[in-house]
């Protein structure tokens, strides 16, 4: 049914709360998990824009590579991907580019003014996704 599951992550522990669910789903379906981090760097006046972007991408690569290794240790086929730019656009572009057939992500559950000001990446992806989505309300993962 689902062969490639995309898990967009923003680097937060809350977003990682989707991983235990995805791990079990991938194991039961024999699916591969693609962990995606969209890097974006705020360029401050006087900062070297290229160095700032390179650092953001390297940190994102280290992050998703580490998580992919943890999934692999649990018997899940997993790979790490990094893109640079607008999170919503890059997630949607990656779905088509990498033959993804399910997106699984956490929503932070912002409400009120925070949602208006910050928006919801999960909501925007949901509205435009060309494939099914598994959307979970973010919660801190249980202590081991």
Q: Where are the domains of the chain?
A: 4-137
Residue 42 pLDDT class (50, 70, 90 cuts): low
CA distance 113 to 110: 8
**How far from the centroid of its chain's Cα atoms is residue 13's Cα?**
12
CA distance 31 to 21: 13
pTM given for the model: 0.85
In degrees to the nearest 10, what's the CA dihedral of 78, 84, 85, 91?
-20
Tell me which of 142 and 21 has the higher pLDDT: 21
Calculate mean pLDDT across residues 38-50. Answer: 75
At the topology level, CATH places domain 4-137 in Rossmann fold (3.40.50)
Judge whether residue 125 has pLDDT over 60. yes
CA distance 11 to 63: 7
> Hey, which bits of the chain come out as E strands?
4-9, 32-39, 78-84, 102-107, 133-137
- The pLDDT of residue 90: 96
Judge whether residue 50 has pLDDT over 90. no
Residue 112 pLDDT class (50, 70, 90 cuts): low
Number of neighbouring beta carbons within 10 Å of residue 104 = 21
């Amino acid at each position: 049914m689902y062969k490639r599951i995309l898990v967009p992550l923003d680097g937060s522990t809350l977003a990682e709360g989707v991983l235990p669910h995805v791990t079990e789903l991938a194991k039961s379906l024999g699916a591969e998990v693609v962990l995606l981090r969209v890097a974006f760097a705020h360029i401050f006046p006087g900062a070297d824009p290229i160095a700032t972007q390179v650092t953001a991408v390297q940190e994102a690569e280290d992050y998703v590579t580490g998580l992919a290794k943890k999934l692999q240790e649990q018997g899940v086929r997993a790979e790490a991907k990094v893109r640079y730019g607008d999170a919503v656009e890059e997630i949607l572009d990656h779905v088509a580019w990498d033959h993804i057939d399910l997106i699984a992500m956490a929503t932070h559950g912002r409400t009120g003014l925070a949602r208006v000001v910050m928006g919801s990446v999960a909501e925007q992806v949901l509205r435009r996704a060309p494939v099914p989505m598994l959307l979970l309300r973010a919660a801190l993962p249980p202590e081991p």
